[in-house]
Amino acid sequence: MSAHLIDGTALSRQIRAEVGQRAAALSARGVTPGLAVILVGDDPASAVYVRNKVKACAEHGLHSHLERHPATLPETELLARIRLLNDDPSIHGILVQMPLPRHIRPQRVIETIATTKDVDGYSVQSAGDLMAGLPGFRPCTPYGCIKLIEATGQPMAGKHAVVIGRSNTVGKPMALLLLQANATVTVCHSGTPDIGRHSRMADIVVVAVGRRNLLSADMVKPGAIVIDVGMNRNDEGKLCGDVDFAGVAPLAGWITPVPGGVGPMTITMLLVNTLESAERAAANLTSTAHTITST
Ligand code: NAP
């Protein structure tokens, strides 16, 4: 293999250590960052994701509040729970684990979360902030991908980046973040004929489709940075990405493995978003206190 491996586990560990230090400093000032996680139903994969998020909070000085509800929970009750958490000053981030049961409208749920606590960055307000280049929560997976690209030490400015996949949670925000970093961005999707024609010209390729071996060696420019977001199972049932890793690694410049690439970064950026939300809340408290004492 000639490509440098971008180690998401190691980068994640480093960022989480910084989160731990900042969370401790904030706690010493009386504000412990808090994440509320809501799980509706009994999807086993969702239960694992939720458990990992709660565990990550506990390990890095954040407190978490986990709510489990039956799949029959009416939408109105879920929205009422979210509104209570919106008003709870000990909670700085609210995450509702997707997918939700069919009778609950996900966008309705997302839009009920206070903008100041939308640590998943899925609301229309957060998406609009990203599009307008304003500060706000960035969706965790593409935010993590940007950190992985930064870890290569290669500038993104002036580079040609190709994003394959255009979901609202990964592909589209990924493209906007790359644009913000001054890359020239092409977005491919299921309606793009001959994706290789675009990806072969790319200095950076981010693949977020959910299809094994979608990106093969003949679709990659030698020396390119390849970020594999996909999560699939191979014939042996093992986790694999969207990239033909064995074929692409010998010619790429940098590549993320699956597992151990993008995966660990997603929860890490959730911790970062929650911590930064708590830091903002603490700063607002301080300025409010200052205003009260000075009036
Ligand atoms: P998604 O909502 O299903 O979107 C998939 C995208 O891929 C769509 O935009 C779709 O195009 C496009 N697509 C489908 N078939 C294609 C093809 N043959 N050629 C080109 N594009 C094609 O999925 P997602 O939520 O973005 O997730 C994508 C993958 O990343 C999944 O494997 C998911 O499990 C994984 N993921 C991993 C993490 C992590 O933390 N590691 C986090 C999130 C997601 P259209 O829009 O035209 O339908």
pLDDT score of 286: 76
Determine the residue of 107, 189, 270 to mutate for testing ligand 1's pocket, defined as the one with the most ligand atoms within 8 A of the Cβ atom.
189
The Cα–Cα gap between 156 and 160 comes to: 8
Q: Tokens in use for 112? A: 């009920």
CA nearest ligand 1 atom 17, residue: 190
Contacts of 146 (CB under 8 A, 6+ apart): 138, 177, 178, 181
* Digit-coded pLDDT (tens) for 15-58: 999 999 999 999 999 999 999 999 999 999 999 999 999 999 99
Q: Are strands 4-5 and 254-255 parallel, antiparallel or unpaired?
A: parallel
Query: Ligand 1 centroid vs 7 CA: distance in angstroms?
Result: 22
Ligand 1 pocket at CB < 6 A? 141, 164-167, 169-171, 188-191, 195, 208-211, 229-232, 262-263, 266
Where in the chain is CATH 3.40.50.720?
Answer: 140-263
CA nearest ligand 1 atom 31, residue: 210
Atom in ligand 1 nearest the alpha carbon of residue 261: 41
Q: Please state the rounded mean pLDDT for residues 98-105.
A: 97
Active centre residues (catalytic): 53, 97, 120
Q: Is the pLDDT of residue 295 over 60?
A: no
Where in the chain is CATH 3.40.50.10860?
Answer: 32-114
Cα–Cα distances (Å) from 184 to 147, 178, 205, 213, 252, in that order, read 18, 8, 12, 25, 19
Q: Please state the rounded mean pLDDT for residues 98-117.
A: 98
256 falls in which pLDDT band (50, 70, 90)?
A: very high
Instruction: Out of 3.40.50.2300, 3.40.50.720, 3.20.20.140, 3.40.50.620, select the CATH number for domain 140-263.
Output: 3.40.50.720
Query: 32-114 belongs to which homologous superfamily?
Result: Leucine Dehydrogenase, chain A, domain 1 (3.40.50.10860)
Atom in ligand 1 nearest the alpha carbon of residue 189: 21
* Digit-coded pLDDT (tens) for 146-161: 999 999 999 999 999 9
